[in-house]
A and B are shown apart, each in its own frame.
Chain A
Amino acid sequence: MIRRFLAGGNSRRLLLLAALVVGISILEIRFIQPANLRNVLLQMSIDGIVACGLTLVILCGGLDLSVGAVTALSGVTFVIALPLGIGFAGALALLAGTSVGLLNGLLIGKIKLNALIVTLGTMAVVQGAAFWLSRGNPIPGPGGDFEMLGGGAFLYIPLPILFFALVALGGHLLLQHTQFGRDLYAIGGNREAARLADIPVESRECCAYILCALLAAFSGMILASRLNTGSPIIGQDTPLQAIAAIVLGGTSLSGGRGGILATVIGMAIIAVLSNGLNLLNVSPAYQWAIKGSVLILVAGLDSARRHSTLRSTQTTQPQHE
């Protein structure tokens, strides 16, 4: 049973996470205090929402580099449109994000352009739009109720954490228990086979990009509210950070393998690592070095495991026949 537990990618990563938590707690007892753990969760929530959306896209074999720009655009839109009413402003921010997702989805899903290049292009366009809307300056928010979304709490749980939990749960259920989720895995595993199996590949991909951008826009709203500012320069490093977390969680960049739980674990590993290293007074340079090494190491181990299982199935196959 232990062996079976260890065979699952998620369980091995949970063990790594647990080892990190225990190790850092031994070195620095402040880490395990509830206030700090709440901080860790808060730190991973806002980027985590983006990573959950990006996971959907990566699972179906795509990629979205424009998510960071979408957070910036939605944050700026949210703050600028506030005089029209907070609900309307929020809807407008989400709409801005969704339209970027729709554009990505149409270009990549329908017209079949390369995802990396298209989203590199839309990233530049959306960044430009965010700069244009804000005239290049961060726009201060009005404070007060506006800060509730990012700073408020429900039953002592900070709202961003609650939103992240809901998004992760919703995403997990969507992937594991709906036709849509199964289709995404099928498309990521083999696009041509999925098409032949009568899966509406194009619209599924389109939906994945729209959901991804929608979640990025939502995260941008939370961030704007938390900082009480709509800033056009936020999110420039978000896509690469999110990809790092997703890969660390064990989702394959070539699609078809992974899931939301894996992404949550990946986000948690990065959050625990950076919080712990901060508490231990490790300089940012060493933190980058550690992050980079962990990323390459985990990806390398995954690749080695995949190849060894591939080889063992290849040698055992003749015996079955």
Chain B
Amino acid sequence: MQVRSWFPRWHTRELKVLASLIGVLSLLLIYWVTPGFFTSGNVVNLLRQVAINGIIASGMTVVMIGGGFDLSVGAILALSGVLAIQLAKTNLWFGILCPVALGAGAGLLNGTLVSRFAINPLIVTLGSRYLVYASANLFTAGFIQYNGNPAFLVLGRSSLAGVPAPVIVFLSVALISHLILNHATVGAALFAVGSNERAAFFSGLPSRNILTLSYAATGACAALAGVVLASRLGVAAPDAGEGYELDAIAAVVIGGTSILGGAGSIQRTLAGVLLLGVLSNLLVLAGQSYEVQRIATGLIIVLAVAFDLYRRRSRQ
């Protein structure tokens, strides 16, 4: 009896993603036996590599559960990076908090345009992507910014008990997002708005405010990722961030969060982020080039969405 009630849980989404993760992992290991993969150095490295995408993808999950979409995260990452480098020269905390606040502000603007003016989120965030890149370039006059102050580099380069600081930031962001999504009223409201905005509005939820907040959260996450990246590199360019938006969306979608809104979770995104990270790490260890990584990433995206559809159809 106990086995029966326990067994169906294997069909939950998270475990399937985990299973596919293990599957891909072992498959690749058969083809290219890479003794380097399971060294602690490489695992730490892998986690550090996925941290930036993971922070952005956590925010993207929130906005996509609300039925939205954000193409401006890469631009926000670039802007917050150069801001952090410059502002940290006057005051360290100012340099960390100010870009994050600004990212949240950019998100608020996105959210207001989407929810109050009813403009397609793809267009709004495409437009604000141009605006944010413009302000990053105006702020720096187009030049790369440097800051070698050891105190500023702590966030990106230090580690606590062997765990790199970016990974700690990533896991805390994921944990906080998870708690908000699953254990707070506003999280439950976001799911309601994402699955049917009209119904949520008519049942008395402040659906517009909730949508706006979800964009602000995404903006703040992207900005935090920018600060961590700048602190890791000690350098930030005003035109960095190209491609981060699509990587984050890929991770969220591979995890199985619906692009139509109303369904998804941070654990799924975590699995998606790890799957992409493990894949690229293994391919690099196996000496495969950039193009093979791109092709593999693309194939996994298509396979993930096909698998998701198959699962939904078979359930009906």
Residues of chain A whose beta carbon lies under 8 Å from any beta carbon of chain B: 107, 111-114, 116-118, 120-129, 131-132, 136, 236, 240, 243-244, 247, 253-254, 283-289, 291-293, 295-296, 299-300, 303-304, 307
Contacts and interface: CB of A to CB of B under 8 A. Distances in A.
B34 to A, nearest CB: 21
Contacts of B309: 111-113
Contacts of A129: 291, 295
Given A111-B309, A129-B295, A292-B134, 6 more contacts: A112-B309, A113-B305, A121-B305, A253-B123, A286-B134, A303-B118
A67 to B, nearest CB: 14
Q: Which of B127, B246, B299, B309 has the most CB of A within 10 A?
A: B127
Contacts of A307: 118
B151 interface: no
Contacts of A122: 298, 302
Contacts of B306: 107, 111, 113
Contact of A288 (B133, B250, B253, B302): B133
B70 to A, nearest CB: 13
B281 interface: no
B301 A120 contact: yes
Interface string B180-212: 000000000000000000000000000000000
Interface string B119-143: 1101110111111011101100010
In the A-B complex, list the 7 residue pairs whose CB atoms are closest, starting with the nearest.
A292-B130, A124-B298, A128-B294, A121-B301, A125-B298, A128-B295, A289-B134
Contacts, number: 148
B293 interface: yes
Nearest to A104: B302
B144 to A, nearest CB: 15
B117 interface: yes
A77 to B, nearest CB: 14
Given A136-B290, A240-B71, A295 B113 contact: no
B138 A285 contact: yes
A125 B294 CA distance: 6
A308 to B, nearest CB: 12
B47 interface: no
A123 B298 contact: yes
B5 interface: no
A255 to B, nearest CB: 11
Most-contacted residue by chain B among A120, A126, A296 (CB, 10 A): A296
B101 to A, nearest CB: 21
Contacts of A253: 120, 122-123
Contacts of B133: 285, 288
B118 A124 contact: no
A208 B129 CA distance: 28
B55 interface: no
Contacts of B126: 240, 243-244, 295
Interface of B: 71, 113, 117-120, 122-124, 126-131, 133-135, 137-138, 142, 242, 246, 249-250, 253, 259-260, 289-302, 305-306, 309
A112 B137 CA distance: 41
Contacts of A136: 289-291
A292 B128 contact: yes
A8 to B, nearest CB: 21
A285 B250 contact: no
A287 B305 CA distance: 37
B107 to A, nearest CB: 15
Contact of B292 (A128, A292, A300): A128
A212 to B, nearest CB: 17
Contacts of A244: 123, 126-127
Nearest to B313: A112
A296 B127 contact: yes
A292 B71 CA distance: 13
A127 B300 CA distance: 15
A214 B3 CA distance: 55
A247 B125 CA distance: 13
Nearest to A236: B242
Contacts of A112: 309
Contacts of B134: 285-289, 292
B296 to A, nearest CB: 8
B290 to A, nearest CB: 6
B117 A117 contact: no
A117 B301 contact: yes
Contact of B302 (A107, A284, A286): A107
Contact of B137 (A114, A116, A288): A288
B242 A120 contact: no
B120 A131 contact: no
Nearest to B110: A296
Contacts of B250: 120-121, 124
A124 B119 contact: no
A160 B7 CA distance: 62
A281 to B, nearest CB: 15
Nearest to A133: B291
B118 A121 contact: no
B293 to A, nearest CB: 7
B127 A118 contact: no
A125 B293 CA distance: 9
Contact of A291 (B117, B130, B142): B130
A80 to B, nearest CB: 14
A292 B118 CA distance: 17
Nearest to B113: A296
A39 to B, nearest CB: 23
A240 B124 CA distance: 12
Contacts of A287: 134
